[in-house]
């Protein structure tokens, strides 16, 4: 039997960066940022490791029931995370700024990261 946890994040989802049609330069930069712990990852169990630039919002458990009001609260939480003054948006911008301020990162890589639109997304971790 498997078990899954859904993790809501705000930022840039890079879980499948190898399949995103990115240049080799950007792929290498993503791997370097991951090694330098600029990017975040989370538990993945038997699945691919979630990789992202941004912030964790909350998670849900596949074995936990949710009442309708909890679903409404979750929806409001996810919406609030996208607001410019939210802690998740601030955390995303701070981590992006680390990349943009790095002297050894090419302009092409910096421009790619700047062009990405942060969003709320869900990743599943299974075990």
Q: pTM to 2 decimals?
A: 0.88
Q: Are 98 and 38 in contact (CB under 8 A)?
A: yes
pLDDT at 63: 78
Residue 6's DSSP bridge partners are 60, 124
Total count of domains within the chain? 1
pLDDT at 38: 93
Given a cut of 90, whether residue 61 has pLDDT beyond it is no
d(CA 68, CA 36): 41
Domain range enclosing 61? 4-126
Average pLDDT of the chain?
91
Given a cut of 80, whether residue 11 has pLDDT beyond it is yes
Given a cut of 90, whether residue 90 has pLDDT beyond it is yes
Of 21, 2, 14, the C-alpha closest to 99 is 14
pLDDT at 97: 97
């Amino acid at each position: 039997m498997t078990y899954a946890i859904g993790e809501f994040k705000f930022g840039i989802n890079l879980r499948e960066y190898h399949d995103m049609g990115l240049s080799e330069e950007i792929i290498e930069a993503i791997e370097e940022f991951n090694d330098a712990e600029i990017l975040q990852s989370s538990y993945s169990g038997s699945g691919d490791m979630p990789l992202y630039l941004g912030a964790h919002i909350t998670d849900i458990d596949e074995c936990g029931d949710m009442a309708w009001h909890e679903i409404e609260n979750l929806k409001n939480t996810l919406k609030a995370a996208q607001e410019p003054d939210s802690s998740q948006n601030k955390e995303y911008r701070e981590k992006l700024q680390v990349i943009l301020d790095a002297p050894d990162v090419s302009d092409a890589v910096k421009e790619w990261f700047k062009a990405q639109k942060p969003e709320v997304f869900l990743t599943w971790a299974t075990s």
